[in-house]
Amino acid sequence: MRPADGRIPADGIGFSGPADARSFDAIRAGFRWTVPARYNMGVDVADRWAAADPDRPAVIEVRPDGATDILTFEALRERSNRLADALRQRGIGPGDRVAVLLQQGVAVPVVHCAIYKLGAVALPLAAVFGADALAYRLADAGARAVVTGSVGAAKIATIRAELPALERVLSIHGPDGDVEGLDEAIREGSPDFTPRDTAADDPALMIYTSGTTGPPKGALHAHRVLLGHLPGIIFPHALFPREGDRFWTPADWAWAGGLLDVLLPSLRYGVPVVARKFDKFDPEAAFDLMARLAIRNAFIPPTALRMLRTVPRPRERFALTMRSLMSAGEALGPETAAWGREAFGIPIDEAYGQTECNLVVGTSSALGVMKPGATGRPLPGHDVAVIRPDGTPCEPGELGQIAVRRPNPVMFLGYWNREDATRAKFVGDWMTTGDQAIVDPDGFISFIGRDDDVITSAGYRIGPGEIEDCLLRHPAVALAAAVGKPDPLRTEIVKAFVVPKPGYAPSDALSADIQAFVREHLSAHEYPREIAFRAELPMTTTGKVIRRLLRAEA
């Protein structure tokens, strides 16, 4: 654990910095990556704390009845060794893709660490994926094995004929026909398995990411990706870790935000992670969980935070012990940020990144790095700029695209079997993001929107985030999304999709009231000229609004 006086000492592996630095600027200036040539993510996560403190809790899984299952670091080490050996016995070897189709629970880190120790490549898949989404990803990746549960196994059974490379399906719920039991396989393996001596640049993890056009692409990452994430955890989480920290996120552990922003870095630092399966996010249950389990650190995406806003008087009703709270995935907005500070008693720090290169920009309220409306500054170890199409840096206030300079340990190796797409991702040494932003004279980057999310109306370039944040300030609005609708006069007009709060019925009068509210509080050129009421909004598995579906409807 780190000292409590705010110093950022050398990490020992991954990076070093000035041990006596107290300011963000001094830390950035003195930061140096020290990624070793040989490094295995599974060994780093599972074995370090098993040797130092074997009975230390790694994962605390909360079952639906409120009981808990605890996975210790020694159990994580032993079970991941056994599973790695069992997979080896089944013909799975270095470079082979092994899919992980599981919800939050004690099995997830065991499976991931086993895959990394084996030198294979983990392919996390969201439990909410349907058969078609699974078939595409499993076939494109050429996955040779899948670890899942009974529901996932049933989905895979319907597409098995489309997956000639798939040889093994293992289930946490035990054997069933040609599906093997995970626990049974683990018992067959040796606890003395010798992990593969992998290079830091060897492939370890592939996460599929969806773009605005074409099918999803597999972003292939090396073992070093975990080390590259650490500054993005330390600084937005109040100089994480501290003694007594305990982490939780509602984000699916199949998503980079759940796996690499929470699970793996927390375990790497010996911080217990709370697991709780939510079939549907329940704001009341989430507050209760944070209070009962004494959660000190949380990563909560903006959409989930907006849903938490529907819970009345949380500080009065729940004994929260939060020390740090980070949000990422889309713009938080000043309205939600202000509510969060009041509800949790601490500021909400923000972070920015993509599946291909995650957690490279952020705030650090503990070091005074926070500005209203800004996503943050480049975090230590990351060279980030807002650039023009030719790769030159933008002037302060000039709209451009966020880009990250290579080499960078958190950056992906490339898209799986898509060299053309990988090349197109770069302008020189800048990895482009497709995200529009501006930078101010102090180096703070403000996210505006995706290239295709930015609305062009009567010559104005309008980011949807500011409109959505204003809409959320209206007392009748629970959730909102703003998109551009083609218009012959203005090029586009702003159209808003609104989920009303309970007790408010959609009507022309309510629509007019919301329009007037935005016009008064924002501007005449940004107010939504059309409003459509919905019972819910289309969401990704990571909780982000799928604006392209709304644009298509508009």
Is residue 2 domain-resident? no
Is residue 30 domain-resident? no
Angle among Cα 14, 16, 22 to the nearest 5 degrees reads: 130
Q: How would you label 350-389 residue by residue, b for 16+ Cβ within 10 Å and e otherwise?
A: bbbbbbbbbbbbbbbbbbebbeebbbbbbbbbbebbbbee
Whether residue 193 is found in the same domain as residue 125: yes
Is residue 1 domain-resident? no
DSSP string spanning 34-99?
E--SB--HHHHHHHHHHHH-TTSEEEEEEPTTS-EEEEEHHHHHHHHHHHHHHHHHTT--TT-EEE
Tens digit of pLDDT at every position of the chain (554 positions): 444 444 554 566 777 876 566 789 999 999 999 999 999 999 999 999 999 999 999 999 999 888 999 999 999 999 999 999 999 999 999 999 999 999 999 999 999 999 999 999 999 998 888 888 899 899 999 999 999 999 999 999 999 999 999 999 999 999 999 999 999 999 999 999 999 999 999 999 999 986 545 678 999 999 999 999 999 999 999 999 999 999 999 999 999 999 999 999 999 999 999 999 887 889 999 999 999 999 999 999 887 898 899 899 999 999 999 999 999 977 787 888 999 999 999 999 999 999 999 999 999 999 999 998 899 999 999 999 999 999 999 999 999 999 999 999 999 999 999 999 999 999 999 999 988 899 999 999 998 877 667 676 765 557 687 788 889 989 999 999 998 888 876 678 899 999 999 999 999 999 999 999 988 876 666 789 999 999 999 887 666 788 888 888 88
User: Measured between alpha carbons, how far is 143 from 165 in angstroms, rounded to an integer?
Assistant: 6
Whether residue 154 is found in the same domain as residue 266: no
Whether residue 209 is found in the same domain as residue 235: no
- From 188, 221, 254, the end of a domain falls on 221
Q: In the chain, how many domains are there? A: 3
Whether residue 106 is found in the same domain as residue 202: yes
- From 403, 418, 449, the end of a domain falls on 449
Domain that holds residue 239: 14-20+224-449
Give the count of beta carbons closer than 10 Å to the beta carbon of residue 485.
18
Residue 268's CATH number: 3.40.50.12780
Whether residue 184 is found in the same domain as residue 114: yes
Is residue 7 domain-resident? no
- From 221, 250, 265, the end of a domain falls on 221
Strands (E), 452-523: 455-457, 460-462, 477-487, 491-500
Whether residue 191 is found in the same domain as residue 233: no
Is residue 25 domain-resident? no
**Neighbouring C-alpha atoms within 13 Å toward the C-beta of 284:** 1
Whether residue 164 is found in the same domain as residue 258: no
Tell me whether residue 244 is exposed, middle or buried, using C-beta atoms within 10 angstroms of its C-beta: 0 to 12, 13 to 18, 19 or more.
Answer: exposed
Residue 469's CATH number: 3.30.300.30
